[in-house]
């Protein structure tokens, strides 16, 4: 589907100004607030893959957890097909929320070591109300769908399978409830490169077969560019740039995105990076700098950047939060 066609369809998932703060204790009596997610908005069209990139600590995992309901946002709205699911634990909301499922990064920790692989998948199916028999059959079918031979894998325990195989099981499990949206939180980051490629291909096949929408979260730009149609770049709890994946990667508008792209090894020895594109470390999400969050590391920062925080605004088909975009 072409880019413009996708934009015409109503978004399946729409997040507006999501905020999540954590109160933390510093030393004895002082409390501080960790601004994990500080006003994040995005939209995802049906059948699309939205990539979310950023360094660790930028809040992308918290966003993922908000999406599947493991964390409740303090403010903001999240709509699936225009139904609000961000707040509350009411039954109707829970039913809708189940249409978003997640695949976690640690394939081993995501599986109960006491259950066989088949049982883990079946549990998710029966959590949606299926009978024991139907769950068992569904589990076998899903194992086959993710490329694992059910007769060999259904009885195995997590410690008897490799990382790639376990991740396939996790994917199968997330599909057990017939979701429409899949959140992949660093789902391939812990795998060997060759396995990673297989899993990515599997994900793409599944997306087409089952008409899924993906949110692909990673810190690895290559993988994100490969998988995503559009991408959102996060920094310290906010989205700083978003747009078509290829465009954002090849022609970044935000200084941070540009630095990220330049810092990513390309495998081309001719393109050596003279000095690190980004200096210093990200400021802590607790003591945020005034104005633009990135100004302390930005080579283009000026006086205005310290005074006023740039809002995310449109530049053509892209969105950028910068006073002086590239």
Binding site for other proteins (CB under 8 A): 28, 68-70, 94, 97-98, 101-102, 104, 106, 109-116, 118-128, 132-133, 135-136, 139-140, 150-152, 154-155, 157, 159-160, 170, 173-174, 176-177
Query: Please, which residue, 178 or 307, has the CB nearer to other proteins?
Result: 178
Contacts of residue 47, Cβ cutoff 8 Å, sequence gap at least 6: 1, 6, 207, 211, 212, 213
Q: Measuring CA to CA, how many Å separate 253 from each of 4, 218, 300, 315?
A: 20, 20, 12, 9
Alpha carbons 291 and 283: distance in angstroms, whole number:
13
| Closest approach of other proteins to the CB of residue 16, in Å | 22
| Closest approach of other proteins to the CB of residue 160, in Å | 7
| Closest approach of other proteins to the CB of residue 186, in Å | 12
- Token output for 164: 């790639």
Alpha carbons 225 and 51: distance in angstroms, whole number:
8
| Closest approach of other proteins to the CB of residue 112, in Å | 5
| Closest approach of other proteins to the CB of residue 314, in Å | 33
| Closest approach of other proteins to the CB of residue 29, in Å | 8
| Closest approach of other proteins to the CB of residue 70, in Å | 6
Query: Please, which residue, 104 or 214, has the CB nearer to other proteins?
Result: 104
| Closest approach of other proteins to the CB of residue 49, in Å | 20
Alpha carbons 127 and 219: distance in angstroms, whole number:
32
């Amino acid at each position: 589907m072409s880019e413009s066609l996708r934009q015409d369809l109503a978004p399946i998932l729409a997040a507006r100004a999501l905020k999540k703060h954590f109160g933390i204790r510093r030393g004895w009596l002082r409390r501080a607030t960790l601004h994990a997610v500080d006003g994040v908005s995005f939209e995802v069209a049906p059948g699309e893959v939205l990539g979310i990139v950023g360094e660790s600590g930028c809040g992308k995992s918290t966003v993922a957890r908000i999406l599947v309901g493991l964390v409740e946002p303090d403010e903001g709205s999240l709509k699936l097909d225009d139904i609000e699911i961000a707040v509350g634990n009411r039954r109707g909301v829970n039913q809708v929320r189940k249409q978003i499922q997640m695949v976690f990064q640690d394939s081993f920790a995501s599986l109960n070591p006491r259950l066989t692989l088949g049982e883990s998948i079946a549990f998710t199916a029966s959590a949606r109300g299926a009978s024991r028999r139907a769950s068992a059959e569904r589990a076998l079918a899903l194992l086959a769908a993710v490329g694992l031979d059910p007769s060999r894998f259904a009885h195995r325990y997590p410690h008897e399978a490799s990382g790639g195989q376990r991740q396939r099981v996790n994917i199968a499990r997330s599909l057990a409830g017939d979701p429409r949206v899949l959140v992949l939180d660093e789902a391939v980051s812990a795998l060997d490169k060759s396995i990673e490629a297989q899993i990515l291909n599997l994900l793409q096949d599944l997306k087409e077969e089952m008409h899924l929408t993906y949110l692909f979260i990673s810190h690895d730009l290559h993988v994100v560019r490969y998988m995503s149609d559009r991408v959102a770049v996060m920094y310290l709890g906010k989205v700083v740039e978003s747009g078509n994946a290829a465009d954002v990667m090849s022609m970044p508008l935000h200084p941070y995105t540009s630095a990220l792209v330049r810092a990513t090894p390309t495998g081309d020895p001719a393109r050596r990076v003279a000095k690190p594109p980004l200096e210093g470390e990200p400021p802590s999400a607790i003591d945020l700098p005034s104005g633009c969050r990135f100004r302390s590391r930005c080579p283009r920062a000026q006086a205005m950047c310290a005074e006023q925080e740039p809002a995310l605004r449109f530049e053509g088909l892209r969105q950028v939060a910068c006073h002086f975009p590239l």
